């Protein structure tokens, strides 16, 4: 039982994590600034010392989850041969399975999200959405080695992202019934391209 102090000491991070917990347990619908504040043992307006609005806290929470997502994606290709197509398949499978394991996160991350991506792929992709950037770099590496022209690879990148993102969207829809093993089926579908 932590003693009740005037200064919380770690409120900013506590708000972010409590907010994510709240979304996991009750859904974004029942999320509110005041409830998150209460969960951290703090009053109404305390969050405004760290965030200028509810939306800013939600953005911070999205970044937190996105970092977690990106870390898992990176780990999924850690021991793979980065010049082989199997790495792309591993990455795509991880993309979908992350949201099958955490269905709440899909809507949370992508509905009214601040994902930034240059689909023209002209610049260095520095401020692109990190999961997309992982997929983009890996795909250019693999298909570049195979001698495919840049423009064709661009189409492949978009196609790959659409496939895995679409599969994640479908798999996490609330009214979906599916008896089979997603992990297996996803691999079949990705490989089949």
Partner DNA sequence: AACTCTATCTTGACAGTGTAAAGATTCAAG
Partner DNA sequence: CTTGAATCTTTACACTGTCAAGATAGAGTT
Q: What is the C-alpha separation between 41 and 63, in angstroms, rounded?
A: 23
* Alpha carbons within 13 A on the beta-carbon side of 125: 14
- Using CA atoms, how far residue 184 sits from 95, 101, 169, 188, in Å, is 14, 15, 17, 6
Return the structure tokens found at 186.
């996803």
**Nearest distance from residue 95's CB to DNA, in Å?**
30
Q: For the window 141-160, what string marks contact with its own copies as x by the rule CB under 8 A?
A: --------------x--xx-
Q: Which does 114 bind (CB under 5 to 8 A by kind): its own copies, DNA, none?
A: its own copies
- Does residue 124 bind its own copies (CB under 8 A)? no
- Using CA atoms, how far residue 27 sits from 23, 102, 104, 106, 111, in Å, is 4, 12, 7, 12, 13
Q: Which does 75 bind (CB under 5 to 8 A by kind): its own copies, DNA, none?
A: none
Q: Which of 62, 56, 66, 21 is nearest to 39 (CA)?
A: 21
**Nearest distance from residue 3's CB to DNA, in Å?**
10
Q: What is the C-alpha separation between 141 and 5, in angstroms, rounded?
A: 53
- Does residue 189 bind its own copies (CB under 8 A)? yes
Q: Which does 129 bind (CB under 5 to 8 A by kind): DNA, its own copies, none?
A: its own copies
**Nearest distance from residue 49's CB to DNA, in Å?**
4
DSSP per-residue codes, 146-165: TT--HHHHHHHHHHHHHHHH
Q: Which of 71, 4, 16 is nearest to 42 (CA)?
A: 4
- Does residue 126 bind its own copies (CB under 8 A)? no
- Does residue 175 bind its own copies (CB under 8 A)? yes
- Does residue 191 bind its own copies (CB under 8 A)? no
Site residues (vs its own copies, CB under 8 A): 27-29, 107, 110-120, 129, 155, 158-159, 161-167, 169-170, 173-180, 185, 188-189, 192-193
Q: Which residues bind DNA (CB under 7 A)?
A: 5-9, 11, 31-35, 37, 42-46, 48-50, 52-55
């Amino acid at each position: 039982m932590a003693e009740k102090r005037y200064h919380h000491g770690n409120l900013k991070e506590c708000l972010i994590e409590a907010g994510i917990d709240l979304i996991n347990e009750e859904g974004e619908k029942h999320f509110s600034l005041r409830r998150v504040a209460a969960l951290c043992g703090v009053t109404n307006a305390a969050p405004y010392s760290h965030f200028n609005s509810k939306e800013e806290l939600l953005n911070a929470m999205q970044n937190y989850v996105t970092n977690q997502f990106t870390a898992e994606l990176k780990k999924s290709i850690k021991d793979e041969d980065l010049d082989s197509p199997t790495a792309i398949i591993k990455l795509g499978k991880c993309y979908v399975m992350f949201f099958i394991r955490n269905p709440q996160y899909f809507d949370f991350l992508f509905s009214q999200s601040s994902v930034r991506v240059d689909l023209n792929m002209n610049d260095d992709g520095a401020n692109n959405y990190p999961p997309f950037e992982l997929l983009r770099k890996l795909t250019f590496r693999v298909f570049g080695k195979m001698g495919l022209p840049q423009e064709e690879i661009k189409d492949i990148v978009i196609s790959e992202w659409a496939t895995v993102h679409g599969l994640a969207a479908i798999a996490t829809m609330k009214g979906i019934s599916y008896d089979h093993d997603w992990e297996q089926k996803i691999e079949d579908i990705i490989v089949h391209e």
